[in-house]
Structure 1
Amino acid sequence: MTVTGGDSSLLRRLNAAAVLRVLHEAESLTLTQLVRSIGVARATVENALTGLVEQSWVEEVAPETDRARGVGRPAKRYRFRAEAGCVLGFDIGANKILAVVTDLKGEVLGSRQTAVAPELPSAERITAARTLGHRTLRGAGLRATDVQAVGVGTTGIVDASGVVRLSELVPDWTGVDLAAALREPFDAPVAVGNDTNLAALGERWRGSATEARDVLYIHAGRRVSAGVLIDGRVHAGRHGAAGEIGVLAASSWPTAPGRLLGWSGEGRGDAEGLFTAVRQGDPRALAALERYADDLAQGIAAMVLTLDPELVVLGGGVSQAGRLLLDPLRGRLADHCLFPVEIVASALGDRSVALGAVRLSLDLVEQRLFEVSARD
């Protein structure tokens, strides 16, 4: 927890962190409710509140006026100031960059997107992300000094330090230190993760997987990839490569998108055109979708048998097919897997990665605010 001033007492910092955590989880609480929730003396809570109000993390709010007034003064009521700062979440992909800014409780304040080319040099891609981040902040009436943390989801294998270790979609993205590249312009801590993993995190936070803890997320679009949550947390693996079964030709994932989009025999098409043709009963489109379901099911079944997740979420552009794709996938997974597994479409669409990045950045802020060590 970041506590300024001369507060050198570990116990006082622990009490302040406890008060802040309880207020963060509530709309607002009275002093009496805080004392009851934390289980310490009233004077201890009052002292903690004094320091938190001075640091602008907490404020006293006006008493509720819609309730019948009792005898005496109304009880003091306090709230966590979600507007005391903000966080940024980025989705930096091969074809687009999306930035989302939220307050410290995750309320979206603004978002902006820009298109980029896969061949754009890494330095220019980073510059585009920085510029978009500043524009997003300005559009929400905020400044870079308001940013408390930054989260980034990007294509490729990313290590724990925020360095892209391997990227095949973006030519010179391998070796880029994204954490360092975005730390300086916003003067805030940065957390970076693989985009598909963060899409899974976003779905669990605000999307289709809010009730599940063990989640397999499948991105089905120009590429097929997987992200894994175990006990609600991203499982990246030792090298950040967990779930990268798409590198195996036997999974059928590397060639699946090309076969799907080339269903008409007239070169590359688009997924929406395919879905329209399926709804119209075009036999070539129906056959292509069936083959695509076969291709997806190979890898999904292998991961389901390995992880035994509660839920599979299908995202990416092809997920827009809805039941046209989900129904045949369900049938194939039932044939391949030992136990039934629920499979649903993404609720967040192309915002899942950026919102997962927001969640990652909020975790950084909450860790700093609520966790206290004797060395602080």
Structure 2
Amino acid sequence: MAKPPATPPTATPPMLRRVNAGKLLSVLSNAGVMTGTGLIEATGMTRATVHAVCNDLISMGWVVELNAGRHDTSVGRPSRRFVFNSRAGYVLGLDIGAAKTTVLLTDLRGETIAKSVRSVSDVKEPGERTEIVHQAIVEALAEAKVSDTQVLAAGAGVAAPVDREGHILVDDEFWRRFDAGLPERLTKLHGWPVLLENDANLAVLGEQWRGAGRGVGDLAVLLAGERFGSGLMDSGRLLHGSRGGAGEMVFLKLVEGVGDTHGIARMAREQGTAAVADPTVETSLRTAGDDPVTAELVFAAAAAGDEVALGILQHIAARTARVIAMLGILFNPELVILGGAVAAAAGALLPDIDKHLAGFTSTPPRVAVSSLGDAIVSVGAVRHALNYVEQHALDLHLTCRPE
């Protein structure tokens, strides 16, 4: 016998007050100064409810009233004016990469207050990486004169699949480098929650928030530096998969014309090095002398008209187009954004990528390059932390109060 449907919980006055507070805070956090009348129009609440909830948020520290004391809203008197207290607390965005760690400290509107970068290229043990992340955090907080008690949350990105509970998938040797109990250790050291996420997933959050993907719900970001990895968004919802593996690109080993997960920077560097090693090849890349050939050097030589470098980029563009076509066929995004350290140079590849795409799929996405550069993951980590703060705002204790 089927069970009767569960009775929905009764909407008690405290519950309604909490719902209204969350709605109003969401409006204010995405706006500038607003009057009581503006908040009434934006939320559909009554004037009495708006003012009562604003008073609650002011007492908690989330909202500041401008010209406090002028509360009379009768005809001829100015309306009350409210603004979100963006310095009610701070969040951190951590990009924990294979070569370096970047820490952004921002206010609650995502404006950067301090930044710290540390190299981790020589790190062998996961525990060493965690210690360097800790040191970078301490440096950023000290620069801004912000204490741990003022930080509300940190978002952290790693180059490994992360499930919905924040656990790293360690099936791959490269991914195991990041499995060091980092969230638990940082929380123990600093006191605030650390929200672990895959770096490409954070990249797509960052792009939709402050990059080329603003307003796009069906979006893919392709991190294309050393290794390909993608973050996927469907109708504004981040895709994880059952174990956090959505968007992983290991399948590229099976794709004809691709064959592995090597990204644009690695391919440019390796092909440039091979060209220099061949004494029969004439190329300006050899003017680097004994210095190693870098991806930047290959792109610069191509821009200067070097035929060998141009050929390398044409090959990379055709290969990258196959990767993008696979994303277009499997997930049908409206837009694919090329991101990571190669983004600044990758614009040179777009004409050839677009030319090849139409021949690979009947639903080719638009392709753009990121304007966020190598900050793409740390910006997304900030957005991840801000999402947490917005969802839990009424349960957080604020130590920052407006003057």
Instruction: Report the TM-score when normalising by structure 1.
Output: 0.87
Q: 1:232 to 1:88 in 2, by over 3 A?
A: same
Contact 1:157 1:165 in 2 (8 A): yes
The CA deviation at 1:351 is 0.2
The CA deviation at 1:24 is 2.0
Show CA shifts across 1:175-195 (max 9, x none).
433332332233223221111
Show CA shifts across 1:145-187 (max 9, x none).
1111110111111122222222757575254333323322332
The CA deviation at 1:333 is 0.8
1:247-286 superposed matches below 5 A: 247-251=251-255, 252=258, 253-255=260-262, 258-264=266-272, 265=274, 266=276, 269-286=293-310
Show CA shifts across 1:197-230 (max 9, x none).
2112111111111131111111121222222111
Instruction: Write the distance in 1 (CA, Å) between the matches of 2:370 and 2:394.
Output: 31
Instruction: Write the distance in 1 (CA, Å) between the matches of 2:40 and 2:187.
Output: 38
* Equivalence for 2:228: 224
Instruction: Write the distance in 1 (CA, Å) between the matches of 2:363 and 2:41.
Output: 45
* Equivalence for 1:238: 242
Deviates most, 305-314 or 278-287: 278-287
Residues 1:139 and 2:147 are matched in the alignment? no
Instruction: Write the distance in 2 (CA, Å) between the matches of 1:344 and 1:127.
Output: 36
Show CA shifts across 1:263-309 (max 9, x none).
23246621111012212332222222122122222222111111111
Instruction: Write the distance in 1 (CA, Å) between the matches of 2:237 and 2:61.
Output: 31
Show CA shifts across 1:125-155 (max 9, x none).
1111122112212212311111111101111
- Aligned pairs, number: 359
* Equivalence for 2:36: 31
Letter of the 1:143 partner, please give it.
Answer: S
Show CA shifts across 1:52-82 (max 9, x none).
211111121138xxxxxx9844322111111
Contact 1:29 1:79 in 2 (8 A): yes
Residues 1:148 and 2:186 are matched in the alignment? no
Instruction: Write the distance in 2 (CA, Å) between the matches of 1:220 and 1:19.
Output: 40
Contact 1:167 1:173 in 2 (8 A): no
* Equivalence for 1:19: 24
Q: Which runs of 5+ in 1 are unaligned?
A: 1-6, 64-69, 372-376
Q: Which runs of 5+ in 2 are unaligned?
A: 1-11, 69-73, 278-291, 396-403
Instruction: Write the distance in 1 (CA, Å) between the matches of 2:47 and 2:326.
Output: 56
Q: 1:96 to 1:241 in 2, by over 3 A?
A: same
Residues 1:192 and 2:196 are matched in the alignment? yes
Deviates most, 44-53 or 200-209: 44-53
Q: 1:365 to 1:287 in 2, by over 3 A?
A: same
1:301-340 superposed matches below 5 A: 301-340=325-364
* Equivalence for 1:43: 48
Q: 1:78 to 1:320 in 2, by over 3 A?
A: closer
Letter of the 2:363 partner, please give it.
Answer: F
Query: What's the % identity of the aligned pairs?
Result: 34
The CA deviation at 1:311 is 0.4
Contact 1:154 1:193 in 2 (8 A): yes
Instruction: Report the TM-score when normalising by structure 2.
Output: 0.82
Instruction: Write the distance in 2 (CA, Å) between the matches of 1:58 and 1:192.
Output: 29
Instruction: Write the distance in 2 (CA, Å) between the matches of 1:174 and 1:347.
Output: 27
Instruction: Write the distance in 2 (CA, Å) between the matches of 1:12 and 1:357.
Output: 30
DSSP-derived class of the 2:87 partner: helix
Contact 1:88 1:100 in 2 (8 A): yes
User: Alignment RMSD, CA only?
Assistant: 2.5
1:82-231 superposed matches below 5 A: 82-117=86-121, 119-166=123-170, 168=172, 170=174, 172-173=176-177, 175-231=179-235
DSSP-derived class of the 2:384 partner: helix
